[in-house]
Structure 1
Amino acid sequence: MSQVFQHDVLIIGSGAAGLSLALQLGDHCSVAVLSKSTLDDGSTRWAQGGIAAVLDTEDSVESHVRDTLVAGADLCEEEAVRFTVQNSKKSIDWLIRQGVPFTPNDETDSDQPYHLTREGGHSHRRIIHAADATGRAVSDTLIAQALRKPGIDIYTRRMAVDLITRRKLDAEGHGCVGAYVLNCDTEHVDVFKARFVILATGGASKVYLYTSNPDGSSGDGIAMAWRAGCRVANMEFNQFHPTCLYHPQAKSFLITEALRGEGAHLLLPGGQRFMHHFDERKELAPRDVVARAIDHEMKRLGSDCVYLDISHKPADFIRSHFPTVYERCLEYGIDITKDPIPVVPAAHYTCGGIVVDTKGHTDTPNLYAIGEASFTGLHGANRMASNSLLECLVYAESAAKDILSKLHDVPEPPYVPHWDESQVTDSDEDVVIAHNWDELRRFMWDYVGIVRTNKRLQRAKHRIDMLNNEISEYYSNYKISGDLIELRNLSVVADLIIRSALMRKESRGLHYTLDYPNPSTEPRNTVLTPDQW
């Protein structure tokens, strides 16, 4: 039997963005947090490198802003960049107060209490980290705090199906009033009503065959917001992390960029370095440059991978700074203190998303988006390393302040009918879902990957049009499941990516096309509006 739940605030997503927001609201109002699986199953937990912030006296806000603008290939919104960087130290201080165990500085003559590392695109050491498992440290800490706060109700194994708006209900006014949510245990769709709804659902890298992301990164928030009438922007900019472990038994294990920050070299199968042929910054060039260089060399040589080598550093240094990478690689017979690591690029981060302002507002009243699901303007055409968790924290605090300022001004949600399953039946052909899921991810990898062409994009558009029709028919006639929800959302996101890529007649940042190899003289965002399609 389906149920109805009501809270002041509904947060869809339990990663760094969602839990940070919940913790800042939980003492003031009733908060529901939805998690698709377990609380620790999102992308936050897998972030290895750290969080970029201006913490050192030799660093500056201006330097961090400048580095971010350069990495974003002239497409960042400077207001968003400055807003994020100016609030970076405050966000780190908040995490420290929550109890995140950042790695201390072992230099006795330094005033800096925490060890700071450097990553690609950064001109200073400004990455604060917890060894090489920062995401896990942040996730564990925020989960522990959220479980202790009485004002926060946490619901696991709940998958949002669609947003509920006053327009869909034919109710007075405008705005989002909740969501229909699948209980994965009972297989019933419940109603979650709220004055404010926040999409903190993460990115959409699962749209690609090879990704560093967990299985849940299926673009749910972006697809739901699109269906609710919100604009999306810059969906063509999909960041491919240059270095994921290449091993038949390793599932999408990321090799942190901090290795390159500490001097690791990229090598061809024959042992030669090659990054100096592509960029004067060599291994510390931005991710798009490094990923394309690796892709180029693999295709030129017909090689399955390249190699990342840090074995020239002292073994104790490697084991103490990169214990997670060391232990995981050792499981596959690779001792990184002696051997190079086989690596390949993989889809890693969605730089575009739901259009928001600095308070997280979307185009739909009382609907917010924060974290990777959003488009703030921070990342431009290429996200700089370790700015992602920072964005989650800064915009969570900003959205929390805005919600608290309006808490008593937004009326209670209207009556919401139960989910109607009377017209659908149980499917006996779930193989269709598995087949479509596999087909979508394969043609996105082949045709809308690191290097693109008009012909490849047109092929992808033809296939996604057919697939969307098939999925829509299936969704209308059969009882929904978690796999069907994710497939439906991935197909929407894939369509948005392809449309955006076709509209960009240049190469810029993460979007590289052989038909337009040079950047245009007028950088512009690619903004899609639902009414136009």
Structure 2
Amino acid sequence: MIKSDVLVIGSGISGLSYAIKISEQMPDAKIIIVTKADEDESNTKYAQGGLAVVTDFDKDNFQKHIDDTMRAGDGENNREIVEMVIKEGPARFQELVEWGTQFDKEKDGDFKLGREGGHTENRIVHHKDITGAEIERALLETIRKSENIEMLAHHYVIDLITQHHVPGKELNTDDISCYGAYILDEKSRKIKKITAKITLVATGGAGHVYKNTTNPIIATGDGIAFVHRARGKVSNMQYYQFHPTALYSKRDGMLFLISEAVRGDGAKLRLKNGKKFMHKYDEREELASRDIVARAIDNELKISGDEYVGLDCREMNQEKFKEHFPNIYQKCLDEGIDPFKQLIPVVPACHYLMGGIETDRNGQSSIKNLFAVGECTNSGLHGANRLASNSLLEGLVFGHNAAMKTVELLNINDFNFDDLKAVPEWNEEGMKMMDEMVMVSYLRRQLQEMMSDLVAIVRSNARLELAQKKQREIYEAVTELYNYSIMSPQLSELRNLGNVSYLIIKHSLQMKENKGSFYNKDLAQKPLTISNL
């Protein structure tokens, strides 16, 4: 058994900023960060557009950002949380700068500010088109300077340790405590029991529950799944945002994101024949919120039968494009596309989950001593649809608040871990190593196909009911595998994706009206288009 004061699960902006804050406040605390891949592999790393924060108070203000966030979330946001995050944003952003993050600046020293869909002002700070990677770099460099933080890469969390694991302990779902986690060391293939006074879940999203996603391969909903299995509260899983413009590919899996900032700088959406169409769906056209643009593209593809639409950058300033979007430009060239001569082929792809682990303003979950921050949570910030570039902001603000609450709890030192003496080591007696992964791969593909066909951008009652039936069949097959197999990351991810798909379908069936990113055509009161042009 490995003992720690704080266990952080995940190494994106939420987990790293949280760990840094605690390290600064409590240099004697033992902090362990576990991440299932390389230390820099996270959803944060792939964030292109930037971070939404009010910095130009001459043209912008908090109220405008609040209004934009509430409008994008279709009013389902918690207004108090929205106000808190946006008003605390500038201070948290300044700390990010102090930790060494380099953001693009104008010649006069002011930050360059981009604009994205749903925003009424330019307020997106960025580092070219690799903002997330730059933030990840700076945070990891700061982490490496902290003597009381230990980073364990390629350590995969299987389950949280709670009263569920104490033999003979009566479980009260209203009073659950977290004591740490069972964690698989992928190199030694041994399952460790790491205990902690406080545990933070910062595991990101679950994009690979669908066939095509902008998320990295690690985004399999692990944190949401193991909190759900521990009887923690999870909500709003029906709200999954599909980014309108992922680079089209015939291959399933992770698709390259064409940042919303490209449309913010003037790119236009066109059908393959060159005709415009966004004016039919929203007066803001290309700068409407992501749910509207994604559904518009989905609808046009169903009408035309085409595989993709085009993003037209041909009239944009070429030098400015290359300076702001060097990686997007290079990716297009690598794919044989000259964005100044051809339309970039794009399709909507699964991008961001607004629901997840329920938390309060400090990131505290419904389980005692368990915090959660970032995309794995339902914090109340995003409502039914996330406003572009609010995700990095959420990670910073909630990472700070969770850290301050954690420090407060650690200083109280009121932790009774008597139950831990009775928590057994992970038991693999009678289990056998799978000699091949074909069953796991097959079931994962079946799950992704089912979710993509039946529970995607546009849903219906019949599709959801069929999905519920198919999900149950897959769940039973996965459970049978789990019950006799020695645990592996692949099997655990499949188990987690099964939990996530169950929650998305269940919460979708409970919806009685269309809100934000959720759209059931059987609940529609009006057609998708605003005109018949």
When normalised by structure 2's length, the TM-score is: 0.94
1:53 aligns with 53
2:333 aligns with 330
**Aligned counterparts of 2:461 and 2:336: Cα–Cα separation in 1:** 42
**CA apart distance, 1:410:** 3.2
SS class of match (1:290):
helix
1:18 aligns with 15
**Aligned counterparts of 1:410 and 1:367: Cα–Cα separation in 2:** 15
Amino acid at match of 1:192: I
| Matched-pair contact (CA < 8 Å) for 2:210–2:350 | yes
**CA apart distance, 1:429:** 4.8
Q: Is it true that 1:370 corresponds to 2:377 in the alignment?
A: no
| Matched-pair contact (CA < 8 Å) for 1:194–1:412 | no
**CA apart distance, 1:56:** 0.8
**CA apart distance, 1:418:** 1.3
**Aligned counterparts of 1:121 and 1:418: Cα–Cα separation in 2:** 50
1:83 aligns with 84
> Quick one: which of 190, 193, 205 aligns to 1:191?
193
Amino acid at match of 2:248: Y
1:317 aligns with 320
Q: Is it true that 1:343 corresponds to 2:350 in the alignment?
A: no
Residues 44-193 of structure 1 aligned to structure 2 (within 5 Å): 44-57=44-57, 58-106=59-107, 108=108, 113-169=110-166, 174-193=176-195
| Matched-pair contact (CA < 8 Å) for 1:179–1:192 | yes
Residues 356-395 of structure 1 aligned to structure 2 (within 5 Å): 356-395=359-398
**Aligned counterparts of 2:128 and 2:409: Cα–Cα separation in 1:** 40
**CA apart distance, 1:470:** 1.4
Q: Is it true that 1:205 corresponds to 2:207 in the alignment?
A: yes
2:239 aligns with 237
1:524 aligns with none
**CA apart distance, 1:518:** 3.3
Amino acid at match of 1:324: N
Amino acid at match of 2:257: L
**CA apart distance, 1:328:** 1.1
**CA apart distance, 1:248:** 3.7
Amino acid at match of 2:414: V
Q: Is it true that 1:454 corresponds to 2:461 in the alignment?
A: yes
2:407 aligns with 404
Structure 2: gaps (5+ residues): 527-533
C-alpha change, 1:402 and 1:324, in structure 2 (3 Å) is same
Amino acid at match of 1:270: N
**CA apart distance, 1:167:** 4.5
**CA apart distance, 1:174:** 4.5
**CA apart distance, 1:272:** 1.3
| Matched-pair contact (CA < 8 Å) for 1:49–1:256 | yes
**CA apart distance, 1:497:** 0.1
When normalised by structure 1's length, the TM-score is: 0.94
Q: Is it true that 1:510 corresponds to 2:512 in the alignment?
A: no
**Aligned counterparts of 2:326 and 2:309: Cα–Cα separation in 1:** 22
Give a deviation string over 1:206-251, Cα, whole Å, max 9, x none.
Answer: 1001100011110000011111111111100000000000134694
1:42 aligns with 42
Q: Which runs of 4+ in 1 moved over 6 A?
A: none
1:530 aligns with none
Amino acid at match of 1:483: Q
2:356 aligns with 353
Give a deviation string over 1:316-353, Cα, whole Å, max 9, x none.
Answer: 11101111101111111112233221100000001100
Q: Is it true that 1:423 corresponds to 2:437 in the alignment?
A: no
**Aligned counterparts of 2:388 and 2:149: Cα–Cα separation in 1:** 31
**Aligned counterparts of 1:410 and 1:345: Cα–Cα separation in 2:** 49
Q: RMSD over aligned Cα, in angstroms?
A: 1.4
1:436 aligns with 443
1:31 aligns with 31
Structure 1: gaps (5+ residues): 520-533
The farther-off stretch of 410-419 and 155-164 is: 410-419
Amino acid at match of 1:252: L
**Aligned counterparts of 1:382 and 1:371: Cα–Cα separation in 2:** 15
**Aligned counterparts of 2:369 and 2:286: Cα–Cα separation in 1:** 43
SS class of match (1:116):
coil
**Aligned counterparts of 1:460 and 1:174: Cα–Cα separation in 2:** 31
Give a deviation string over 1:435-486, Cα, whole Å, max 9, x none.
Answer: 1000000000000000000000011000111111111121111101110010
